[in-house]
Copies of this chain bind each other. A is one copy, B any other.
């Protein structure tokens, strides 16, 4: 579609203005769709060498309590695209900071900051709570005149949700199938898959089932018994499906779930109850306990090595050709590990698609920033396209 028309047809949504993006289920379908549209427009602008830079200066703070290359680069790219410099806040301490420390630090890093991106997915029950503590400290700081503006917070992965990932996945689906409405009735399977590692976070599968149930898809969560997600979030997915005209079910056979699937997302995660135990052990810095838990968990995992997504499973899907999704890096059998989440031939078939999928994340983050900063994003986009500042200079 023509870029100007695409901007003009943007809905006029303004209630994302000055709002944090912490959990996808706190946003309406139209708000989520709005973010997707802005992201797609920003992507197109950059590809056409039109700079969407709206900041002459400003900081985008990043707080990563866990290593990350992909999300870190996505955040840095989004900030840079809009004109902000990234400033890392080191949070290497293992203990969980609360109270006055959080309140004070949140203000100290925010005097000239426009956004704070936070990744905190290690401790069940803690990550999202921490983000809300920061949010509340910023609210107070702004109210008391400490801060000239209230920086927006973007959840770059917590214990409950991974909204920038799930939204990037959704934008990939939207572009792949042509529109959000084309997703109605599509069957998507979020399936557990075997991995030789343990302790992978729950936020990706949780983010997927909670988001994909918003747009009329037939969502199936599939995992071995005992590998459940946080029950409250499974409930959210159920409610979403009821409200949004799709379906949601939980099943326990990878083979069965794959039948007639349009889209599959085979990925390992640790069972909810294991993550709960792990959180307690981490809080107490109980190294022996952690080692014992890992041993038990890996032994249990090993019972489910057949949960590999491979040609045989793919042959069960719609036209033997379901779209394969993954947040990367995948555990590829014979490539990154001996036995893993996906066979090498199947992964290779969809490899480029997973890269394209990942490429939407910087623009999702930029769109979240954009919708937070401007009351009327569509007017601002229009004015940027008219201004037509080049991202890099052109001849003649």
Which chain A residues have a beta carbon within 8 Å of chain B's beta carbons? 46-47, 51, 53-59, 69-70, 73-74, 76-77, 80-83, 85-87, 89-90, 99-101, 104-105, 107-109, 111-114, 141, 144-148, 328-329, 332, 335-336, 352, 355-356, 358-359, 362, 373-376, 379-380, 383-384, 389-393, 395-396
Q: Do A108 and B328 form a contact, CB below 8 Å, given A57-B83, A391-B57? A: yes
With contact pairs A352-B144, A376-B395 given, residues A80 and B99 touching in the complex (Cβ less than 8 Å)? no
Beta-carbon contact of A58 and B391 below 8 Å:
yes
A355 closest partner in B (C-beta): B146
State how many angstroms separate the Cβ of A36 from the closest Cβ of chain B: 17
Contact indicator B392/A56 (Cβ below 8 Å)? yes
Q: Looking at the assembled complex, report how far the CB atom of A197 sits from the nearest CB atom of chain B, in whole angstroms.
A: 15
CA distance A376 to B73 in the complex (A): 31
Which residues of chain B come closer than 8 Å to A356, judged between CB atoms?
Answer: 144-146
Contacts of A100 in B (CB 8 A): 332, 335-336
Beta-carbon contact of B391 and A55 below 8 Å:
yes
Do A80 and B57 have beta carbons less than 8 Å apart?
Answer: yes
A69 close to B89 (CB less than 8 A): yes
Which of B56, B148, B328, B395 is close to A47, meaning CB atoms less than 8 Å apart?
A: B148
Cross-interface CB contact of A108 among B56, B70, B81, cutoff 8 Å = B70
Judge whether B393 and A383 touch: CB under 8 Å: yes
Do B336 and A101 touch across chains, with their CB atoms under 8 A apart? yes
Closest to A352 in B: B144
A53-B56, A57-B80, A141-B355 given; name 12 further pairs at CB < 8 Å: A46-B112, A57-B81, A57-B82, A57-B83, A57-B391, A58-B392, A59-B76, A74-B111, A81-B112, A83-B392, A145-B356, A376-B395
Q: Which residues of B contact A396 (CB under 8 A)?
A: 379
Is A73's CB under 8 angstroms from B390's CB? no
Q: Given that A69-B109, A146-B352, A146-B359 are known contacts, is A392 also in contact with B55, CB under 8 Å in the complex?
A: yes
Chain B residue at smallest Cβ distance from A332:
B100
Out of B59, B73, B101, name the residue touching A77 (CB < 8 Å).
B59
Q: Across the two chains, which residue of chain B brings its CB closest to A373?
A: B392
Report whether A104 and B145 are in contact in the complex, using a CB–CB cutoff of 8 Å: no
Taking a contact as CB atoms under 8 Å apart, the answer to whether A85 and B81 are in contact is: no
Query: Which residues of the other chain, B, contact A90 by a CB distance below 8 angstroms?
Result: 69
Chain B residue with the shortest CB-CB distance to A379 = B395
Nearest-Cβ distance from residue A170 to partner chain B, whole angstroms: 17
A140 vs B314: C-alpha distance when bound (angstroms): 25
Closest to A67 in B: B90
Residues on the B chain within 8 Å of A59, using CB: 73, 76-77, 80
Q: How far is the CA of A99 from the CA of B107 in the complex (A)?
A: 40
Given the complex of chains A and B, what is the CA–CA distance between A141 and B355 in angstroms? 8
Contacts A54-B392, A69-B89, A393-B380; is A80 near B112 (CB within 8 Å)? yes
Whole-angstrom CA separation of A112 from B86 in the bound complex: 15
21 A-B interface contacts by CB (under 8 A): A53-B56, A54-B392, A54-B393, A55-B393, A56-B392, A57-B81, A58-B80, A58-B391, A59-B80, A69-B105, A69-B108, A69-B109, A73-B89, A73-B109, A85-B85, A99-B335, A108-B328, A108-B355, A147-B359, A374-B395, A375-B395
Q: Top 6 closest A-B pairs, CB basis?
A: A77-B112, A51-B56, A146-B355, A54-B393, A144-B352, A47-B148
Cβ-defined contact, A107 with B355, below 8 A: yes
CB distance from A365 to the nearest CB of B (A): 11
